[in-house]
Amino acid sequence: MFEIQYLDIQEKKEYENIIKKVVEECFKIEGLTNSKMYINVILTTPENIKKYNKEYRNIDKETDVLSFPMFEKEEIEEKIKNNDFKTIDILGDMIISIPRVEEQAIEYGHSFERELAYMVVHSFYHLLGYDHMEENDKTVMRKKEEEVLNSLKITRA
């Protein structure tokens, strides 16, 4: 379902536990539980995420999370509709800046768990082809994110 890589940060079971429960819930809600899809999760530093952002998106600044889907939205929707999961496929890569998660948890006044869970679910929906550039798309994506977080009882407070 997922694989975690650590790039220039210390491994912590806490990170793995949060990611595991969020990814499992995302897969359950989106009907991917019996699929052979998996996600590559890279936990790293602001400096490394800035390098990825520059190299792959030509944006020379750090961010909190990057998502690199392997399928177009229509392709993954078709796979789900037809239950077409005969082979192991990578859904995509999510790259998360752990120091940014820590900073944003403080900034937004909620727990580290809530912020990391949000980054994972947010990235997951990008991997499924959802976006938030247009207001209608943002509304749909936010509703899906909140459904996952609420079902896990991971709230903002």
- The domain in which residue 139 lies consists of 2-151
- 């392709």: which residue's tokens? 75
Whole-number Å distance between alpha carbons of 122 and 17: 17
Task: Quick: pLDDT tens for 52-93.
Answer: 999 999 999 999 999 999 999 898 888 888 887 777 789 999
- Average pLDDT, integer, range 116-138: 92
How many structural domains comprise the chain? 1
- Average pLDDT, integer, range 147-151: 96
- Average pLDDT, integer, range 98-123: 96
- The first and second tokens of residue 84, run together, are 């077409």
pLDDT of residue 152: 97
Assign residue 110 the CATH number of its domain.
3.40.390.30
pLDDT-derived band of residue 136, with 50, 70 and 90 as boundaries?
confident
pLDDT of residue 157: 62
Is the residue at 157 inside a domain? no
pTM recorded for the entire structure? 0.94
Pure H helices in the chain: 13-29, 46-57, 73-81, 98-108, 112-127, 135-151
pLDDT of residue 113: 96
pLDDT-derived band of residue 118, with 50, 70 and 90 as boundaries?
very high
pLDDT of residue 54: 96
Is the residue at 107 inside a domain? yes
pLDDT-derived band of residue 148, with 50, 70 and 90 as boundaries?
very high
Whole-number Å distance between alpha carbons of 34 and 153: 24
Is the residue at 43 inside a domain? yes
Is the residue at 8 inside a domain? yes
Higher confidence at residue 48 or residue 82?
48
Is the residue at 26 inside a domain? yes
